[in-house]
Copies of this chain bind each other. A is one copy, B any other.
């Protein structure tokens, strides 16, 4: 079994490839919940849903969130009523959020609610929230504390970020079932998601960090050269004084990873990383289509078998 630490976009792309290479019982995903929010009365877990929709084969592969072919009738009607939603929810997507909210309201944990949603959508892989405890990623910009979505969606990553805080993580733990599955895993794969706001929140949980040290852990860089593949990773790493490169990513995972997957183009970093005792798999990491996702998955699995 392999455990994946996942945010949105990059890691779901990788999971779509891995799904075609491994039986479902061999895939365990720990999804970031630091960006979770309540909007229009529903509990939104953006990264859990991206992972689940990707594994269910229904994700919108242009936007990498929401469902393919969804409509926006409720969202549009809400705008006409004068209630603009920060995250534009599709109609089918909203149903998932409503269902989760109902399950949580009935007293279920986020982890059990996620399991129920997976069953309903035919996802047999194991998908867990990073915690059933509330952990929220706070973006500190000058005197302001913003949620991730206020920073990224509302303000389009404007202004200089001074600090990122994972509020609540001191007292948060991984879900018990997730701990059991990670213990049974042969390796942990830190997916190619934003190291600061997608993987950072997961690693802020003590158990998660512990397992990275304990298990063979390999990170997939979300950056080629100095260009992040998606999202505000570059912007945030730069603001917080980290080099925007595969090396900067490795620094953020210092002491936690045994190996890193970097792009073919990034030969320059290979020796530096190996000097630091980090094994390097250099391959095409851009995942422009499903074929590329599967090829990257194949290369990672081959690498893991050897190492």
Name the contact of A71 in the complex, choosing from B71, B116, B121 (C-beta under 8 A): B71
Most B CB contacts (10 A, CB to CB) among A80, A92, A98 go to A98
Query: Does chain B have a CB within 8 A of A83?
Result: yes
Query: Does chain B have a CB within 8 A of A107?
Result: no
Is A83 within 8 A of B71, CB to CB?
A: no
Query: Does chain B have a CB within 8 A of A294?
Result: no
- Docked Cα-Cα span, A292 to B83, in Å, equals 37
Within 66-87 of A, Cβ neighbours of B (below 8 Å) are at 70-71, 73-78, 80-83
Q: Which residues on B sit within 8 Å (CB–CB) of A116?
A: 82
Is A95 within 8 A of B120, CB to CB?
A: no
CB A41 to nearest CB in B, in angstroms, measures: 5
Cβ-closest chain B residue relative to A77:
B95
Tallying the copies of this chain within the complex gives 2
Is B95 within 8 A of A78, CB to CB?
A: yes
Is A120 within 8 A of B81, CB to CB?
A: yes
Most B CB contacts (10 A, CB to CB) among A40, A82, A116 go to A40
The binding surface of chain A is classed by DSSP as helix
Q: Which residues on B sit within 8 Å (CB–CB) of A71?
A: 71, 73, 91
Is B117 within 8 A of A98, CB to CB?
A: no
Is B105 within 8 A of A77, CB to CB?
A: no
The count of residues in chain A whose C-beta lies closer than 8 Å to any C-beta of chain B is 29
Is A91 within 8 A of B74, CB to CB?
A: yes
- Docked Cα-Cα span, A192 to B289, in Å, equals 61
Q: Which residues on B sit within 8 Å (CB–CB) of A70?
A: 73
Is B99 within 8 A of A41, CB to CB?
A: no
A84-121 vs B, CB cutoff 8 Å, 1 = contact: the mask equals 00000001101110110110010000000000110011
- Docked Cα-Cα span, A95 to B74, in Å, equals 5
- Docked Cα-Cα span, A281 to B132, in Å, equals 66
Name the contact of A41 in the complex, choosing from B74, B82, B102 (C-beta under 8 A): B102
Q: Which residues on B sit within 8 Å (CB–CB) of A42?
A: 41
CB A275 to nearest CB in B, in angstroms, measures: 51
Q: Which residues on B sit within 8 Å (CB–CB) of A121?
A: 81
Cβ-closest chain B residue relative to A72:
B91
Inter-chain pairs besides A82-B99, A82-B120, A91-B91, 18 sampled, C-beta below 8 Å: A40-B98, A41-B41, A41-B42, A41-B105, A70-B73, A71-B71, A71-B91, A73-B73, A74-B94, A76-B95, A77-B92, A77-B96, A78-B95, A78-B99, A81-B96, A81-B117, A83-B95, A83-B98
Name 6 interchain pairs, CB-CB below 8 A, sorted by A.
Answer: A40-B102, A73-B95, A74-B98, A76-B95, A81-B95, A81-B120
Interface of A with B (CB < 8 Å)?
Answer: 40-42, 70-71, 73-78, 80-83, 91-92, 94-96, 98-99, 101-102, 105, 116-117, 120-121
